[in-house]
Amino acid sequence: MRPFKFSNAGDPATAITLVSANPGAKFLGGGTNLVDLMKEDVMHPSELVDITRLKHADIEKTATGVSIGGTATNSFTANHELIRKNYPLLSMAILAGASAQIRNMATNGGNLNQRTRCTYFYDVNLPCNKREPGSGCGALKGVNRNHAIFGWSEKCVAVYPSDMAVALAALNAVVHVEGRNNAKRTIQFADYHRLPGDTPEKDNNLKQGELITSIDLPTNDFAERSYYLKIRERSSYAFALVSVAAALSLDGNQIKQVRIALGGVAHKPWRASVAEKWLMGKEATESNFRAAAEAELKNARPLEHNKFKVVMAKKAITRALQGAMQGGVYGLEG
């Protein structure tokens, strides 16, 4: 690991000022992604500012829903009564990720900003436009089994690995950030992460020095019917091949509202808006779920080694919606 300056920010303004002033500086959350990448020499910040002691770790009711702190841990968030009762989809998604130890360390802000697990990105001897712009994308014509089927560009075919963010996408969350000189702004979740386009080195639209202070979860009526399904190579402690966050509200058996977001298929959580539109006002039946999934995946552009993800995603969407219909009870989705 390369040398870096370390400091412990006493208050958010100091942390933001320090990181804004130095382009090589980074906030340090739980460190579960950043420290790993620093050991691999994929990232080499010249300065780290520990933000885990800042007062942005609360979870509280607001006029429009619930706000979760940017520095609250993933474990604390997933287990909080307000989240488990009102946003079980978020609890399930967080609990599907990593391990108990990592979730105890990981912060909500850090989770959103975790980087791809593309093996070319991780190996500093191989070309990667995300790590080193202009060096080429090793995965495009290389081993791309774990890569994107939606939204990729010739510059980068990586997928974004967070489970938590897939649920936040389905829940229409809003990210609150604070920059230098008290400059606060909000970012709709759909606009937070980016597709790779010509600048795959940019994962999201956060500016240097901007701190995620909290994430708002708008009130919804999905608590009774939501499900997070994660398909992976082993039954736990592995990243998703494909994951689905599904939420429904019904009028009788007619679909009043539906949200579907996919993980493991694109450079950002992928809202299945084609499937959502298809389902609006329809009966909540398995055959309709299947047809909606079919419609969504028509637009998929698989790579050489990941055609299986198209089939997998169709089945996963159907199963996740069924899981939601079963009240979000684990293992009942069929």
Partner 1 sequence: MEDQLKFPDLTDAERKALEELMPDDMSEIITSGLKRRHFLKLITFTGTSLLATHFLGIEQLMARTTAGAPLPPTGVENGVNVAFKVNGSTQKLLVDSRMTLLDALRERLTLTGSKKGCDHGQCGACTVLVDGRRVLSCLTLAATCEDKVVTTIEGLADGHTLHPMQAAFIKHDGFQCGYCTPGQICSAVALMSEAKNGEASYVTRNVRQTGKSVKLSDEEIRERMSGNICRCGAYPNIVDAIREVHGDKAVAQVWQFADGTI
Long-range contacts of 281-285 (CB under 8 A, 24+ apart): 281/254, 281/255, 282/254, 282/255, 283/253, 283/254, 283/255, 284/248, 284/250, 284/253, 284/254, 284/255, 284/321, 284/325, 285/253
Does 227 bind ligand SF4 (CB under 6 A)? Our answer is no
How big is the site for partner 1, counted in residues (CB under 8 A)?
Answer: 45
Do 52 and 72 form a contact (C-beta atoms < 8 A)? no
How big is the site for ligand SF4, counted in residues (CB under 6 A)?
Answer: 15
- In the complex with partner 1, which residue's Cβ is closer, 93 or 300? 93
Q: In whole angstroms, how far apart are CA 196 and each of 112, 119, 141, 200, 267? A: 16, 17, 16, 4, 7
What minimum distance in Å lies between the beta carbon of 129 and ligand SF4? 4
Q: Buried b / exposed e across 65-75, counting CB within 10 Å, b at 16+?
A: bbbbbbbbbbb
Does 228 bind ligand FAD (CB under 6 A)? Our answer is no
- In the complex with ligand SF4, which residue's Cβ is closer, 108 or 129? 129
Which tokens belong to 137?
Answer: 């994308």
- Write the binding mask 77 to 116 for ligand SF4: x where contact by CB under 6 A, - elsewhere: ---------------------------------------x
With CB under 6 A as the contact rule, the residue among 162, 220, 226, 322 that binds ligand FAD is 162
Does 214 bind ligand FAD (CB under 6 A)? Our answer is no
Task: Please report where in the chains the tokens 């006493």 appear, as a residue.
Answer: 10
Does 284 bind ligand SF4 (CB under 6 A)? Our answer is no
With CB under 6 A as the contact rule, the residue among 16, 158, 170, 317 that binds ligand SF4 is 158
With CB under 6 A as the contact rule, the residue among 59, 156, 231, 321 that binds ligand SF4 is 156
Does 95 bind ligand FAD (CB under 6 A)? Our answer is no
Does 99 bind partner 1 (CB under 8 A)? Our answer is yes
Does 306 bind ligand SF4 (CB under 6 A)? Our answer is no
Terminal-residue alpha carbon distance, the chain: 46
Query: What's 14-63 look like in SS3?
Result: HHHHHHHHCCCEEEECCCCCHHHHHHCCCCCCCEEEECCCCCCCCEEEEC
Residue 70 touches which member of ligand SF4, ligand FAD, partner 1, none, C-beta under 5-8 Å by kind? ligand FAD
Alpha helices (H) along the chain: 12-21, 34-39, 74-79, 81-86, 88-95, 100-105, 108-112, 119-122, 164-170, 189-192, 273-279, 286-297, 308-325
SS3 state of residue 159: coil
Selected range binding partner 1 among 16-24, 229-237, 282-290, 291-299, rule: CB under 8 A: 229-237
Does 160 bind ligand SF4 (CB under 6 A)? Our answer is no
Selected range binding ligand SF4 among 48-56, 120-128, 202-210, 247-255, rule: CB under 6 A: 120-128
Does 71 bind ligand FAD (CB under 6 A)? Our answer is yes
List the interface residues with ligand FAD, window 103-142 (CB under 6 A): 105-107, 109-111, 113-114
With CB under 8 A as the contact rule, the residue among 64, 101, 135, 205 that binds partner 1 is 101
Does 8 bind partner 1 (CB under 8 A)? Our answer is yes
Neighbours of 1 (CB within 10 A): 9
Does 91 bind partner 1 (CB under 8 A)? Our answer is yes
By DSSP bridging, strand 59-62 and strand 226-231 are unpaired
Binding site for ligand SF4 (CB under 6 A): 116, 118, 120-121, 128-130, 137-139, 147, 156-158, 200
